[in-house]
A and B are shown apart, each in its own frame.
Chain A
Amino acid sequence: MSLQALTYLFVGISFAIYIGIAIWSRARSTNDFYIAGKGVSPVANGMATAADWMSAASFISMAGLIAFLGKDGSVYLMGWTGGYVLLALLLAPYLRKFGKYTVPDFIGTRYYSKAARLVAIICLIFISFTYVAGQMRGVGIVFSRFLEVDINTGVIIGMLIVFFYAVLGGMKGITYTQVAQYCVLIFAYLVPAIFISLMITNNPIPQLGFGDKIAGSSLYLLDKLDELSIELGFNAYTEYTKSNIDVFFITAALMFGTAGLPHVIVRFFTVPKVSDARKSAGYALVFIALLYTTAPAVAAFAKINFIDSVQKVEYESAPDWFTNWENIGLIAWKDKNNDGIINYSSGNALEGVKPKYTNQFGEFGERIVENASEQSNNNEVYIDNDIMVLANPEIAKLPNWVIALVAAGALAAALSTAAGLLLVISASISHDLMKKILLPNITEKQELFYARCAAAVAIFIAGLFGIYPPGFVAQVVAFAFGLAASTIFPALFLGIFYKRLNKEGAIAGMLTGLIATSSYISYFKFVNPAINNSDYWIFGISPEGFGFLGMILNFVVALIVSTFYSKPPKEIYQMIDEIRKP
């Protein structure tokens, strides 16, 4: 069977399964819709959390990013897993005990204030939409490369599927589809990784393989990679190039940000018992770790493979995948010295970095780009990090069914995360904004109706993001984590561990975190990107790591302001005592 037929088959089967599950588990009450009736087992919830968490970015982009960043890429590995320790130990069990539907719900109740609830809603919606935009782009890429349909058609198909099970099934439908999606995505990630590990190092376990010797030589893979990287003008693969303080702050911002992400937190509201919330966070991290410990191995294999297959190869005899991805627009080659041979080294190949393709083809059949050559180096290859995972099976010459599987896995990763995000957006609008602030008198049935409408609208907006991707998606990811770390995490943490914190303190703290973090990030990313380098950063902290400093500011301001106002009412003390009991 051809690759395309296989891909249609795999994607078709997986979509049929998701729709079947959605019909079987549709929601009948707001309780079902928001938190799946609190009937999800810890293992199933762990899988659903893992699928929810591992987005198109984790599946498609992370390994590619690490391949290019080397040890600097560790910030993502530690940052996006370490947050689960904070969740399991500091937040999940208590929020589950609180027993309501959403994150703004907790903040609004604990700080007895509609203003606090509103600030939380704003942060939540901002964070979640930022994230959704990235998922829809992932769906578009996969559809256009593997199913050879137009990107827009791909996004619309993706929207319809998510619409179907999110609007119909709510949290219940989403949870069980996510369990299925986890199985698809992890299988699709591990199979090629194992194949490639065997091929390069003879070791079937990728996690061990990338610390092993290259097959048929006495050289360790990582030593070879260091050597190659230096030879091509990059930094050594296994050493940090960023300053220690920056690596520290970025990792911390990602960890605390992860623990403060509403769509992850809300997953722990769905289990039956408090002790299940703890256990479930543990399972979630096991399922996540399976992919996150494989990713750096895939990164190392992909980098070696990539260099081997293109470096000093004549363009005309370059492998098929090279030209395929060139046609999609994620690879470009500019023959600087007109010798017809691909030369890959450090530095940007093109002025303005991203290629602007023309409709013409060059002497060797390559797509001609408008960009002038960047003269400061000899690199002739532009490559988008995103293709590493998707192209890896092709680069490693794996059979077609593996490539088709990867396409289905990438779609599962993107769709599961998108659905989880859309649900928290719709819940915060129908429950927190409508029911708790604007229209307190609506019945449960009406609220459920609003929740479904809000989900539909959110999907529509997310689809627009996919069809007209805003150019700033990559920029605003720092925003999502920075805001989660500097607003939501401290409000939740102090709400549980510090009884004396009153609404004035909490609101002042959240606003401080929100304003400090968003102005720092906006300044360096949008207002004055030309000076976005360590000479101008406060304490050498990049915008990506600033969320952690924002969090510290939030703590300080909240605690100081709190002492000037009266204690929270007695009911709040009782409520906190109550959530501290298991």
Chain B
Amino acid sequence: MKSSYWKSNLVILASLLVIWFVVSFGFGILWSEKLDNFSIGGFKLGFWFSQQGSIYFFVLIIFIYVYLLNKLDKKYFDNSDQSNIEEE
């Protein structure tokens, strides 16, 4: 039970880190020049990702992780609020 909790966590981590990599290192750097052929408003798309878009995605990624992990915690450690507060 505990090890499958950890495995699900690792799967979530890995998929979110792929998105993290693609929006910043991918769209913002490696393929940025190609994306610059498209634009949204006055922004060239690659430029937008490097100075704006990547940051919006970062915020989104963290909140998706918070949501998924809270669900996972609930599944494996139900009403675990007590066990969360250690020491004191």
Residues of A participating in the B interface, judged by any CB pair closer than 8 Å: 38, 66, 71, 73-74, 77-78, 81-82, 84-85, 88-90, 93, 97, 99, 207-208, 210-213, 220-223, 238-240, 244, 247-248, 251-252, 255, 272-275, 278-279, 281-282, 285-286, 289, 292-293, 296, 577, 580-582
Contact = CB atoms under 8 A, between A and B. Distances in A.
B40 to A, nearest CB: 7
B24 to A, nearest CB: 5
Contacts of A278: 62, 65-66, 69
B6 interface: yes
Interface string B3-24: 0011001000100110010001
Contacts of B28: 74, 78, 251
Contacts of B38: none
A580 B6 contact: yes
Interface residues of B, number: 48
Q: Which of A77, A99, A238, A292 has the most CB of B within 10 A?
A: A238
A525 to B, nearest CB: 24
B43 A211 contact: yes
B54 A581 contact: no
Given A74-B28, A275-B69, A296-B51, A89 B17 contact: yes
A82 B54 contact: yes
Contact of B66 (A81, A252, A282, A581): A282
Nearest to A284: B62
Contacts of B61: 85, 89
B62 A238 contact: no
Q: For chain A, what secondary structure do more than half of its interface residues adopt (helix, strand, loop), or is it mixed?
A: helix
Contacts of A275: 66, 69-70, 73, 84
Contacts of B80: 582
A293 B16 contact: no
8 contacts: A71-B47, A211-B48, A251-B29, A275-B84, A282-B62, A285-B59, A293-B52, A581-B5
B18 to A, nearest CB: 12
A289 B42 contact: no
Given A74-B50, A251-B24, A222 B62 contact: no
Contacts of B56: 289, 293
Contacts of B63: 282
A241 B77 CA distance: 51
Interface string B51-88: 11011101101110110011001000100110111111
Interface of B: 2, 5-6, 9, 13, 16-17, 20, 24-25, 28-30, 32-33, 36, 40-44, 47-48, 50-52, 54-56, 58-59, 61-63, 65-66, 69-70, 73, 77, 80-81, 83-88
Nearest to A275: B70
A223 B52 contact: no
Nearest to B52: A293
B3 to A, nearest CB: 10
Contact of B55 (A88, A239, A289): A289
Given A255-B24, A282-B59, 18 more contacts: A38-B88, A74-B29, A77-B51, A78-B29, A78-B54, A82-B24, A88-B65, A89-B13, A211-B43, A213-B42, A223-B42, A244-B30, A251-B25, A273-B81, A275-B66, A286-B59, A289-B58, A581-B83
A3 B2 CA distance: 63
A293 B66 CA distance: 22
Given A248-B29, A278-B66, A289-B59, A582 B42 contact: no
Nearest to B47: A238
Nearest to A299: B51
B31 to A, nearest CB: 10
A581 B40 contact: no
B67 to A, nearest CB: 10
B35 to A, nearest CB: 12
